[in-house]
Amino acid sequence: MNNTAHAKITRRGFLATTLAGAAAMSAPLATSASAVMVAATPPDPEIRPFAFHASKAALADLRSRIVATKWPEGETVSDASQGVNLGR
């Protein structure tokens, strides 16, 4: 290829081509036996409530860790030169 052919390739075009190729390669995996088994299993119509149980000691430990957390201080500049603004 000459230099003009390289100049026509953009990052967006490269990514689109790469993703299309990856999707084409993974298409046979979607029709594998495991995917067929999942599709053959009827969905469970029953909705079950979720229950979470934690000891009072574990919750107290978690609360103390949250209180002891050293949160970052606000930015010293108004622009994004220090990263994403804390309020965002």
Element (H, E) at 4: helix 3-7
The confidence score (pLDDT) of residue 71 equals 84
pLDDT in tens, 65-82: 999 999 877 778 888 888
> Residue 86's pLDDT is what?
76
**Which band of pLDDT confidence, cut at 50, 70 and 90, is reported for residue 11?**
confident
In this structure, what token pair is assigned to residue 31? 């029709």
Question: What is the pLDDT averaged over residues 9-30?
Answer: 70
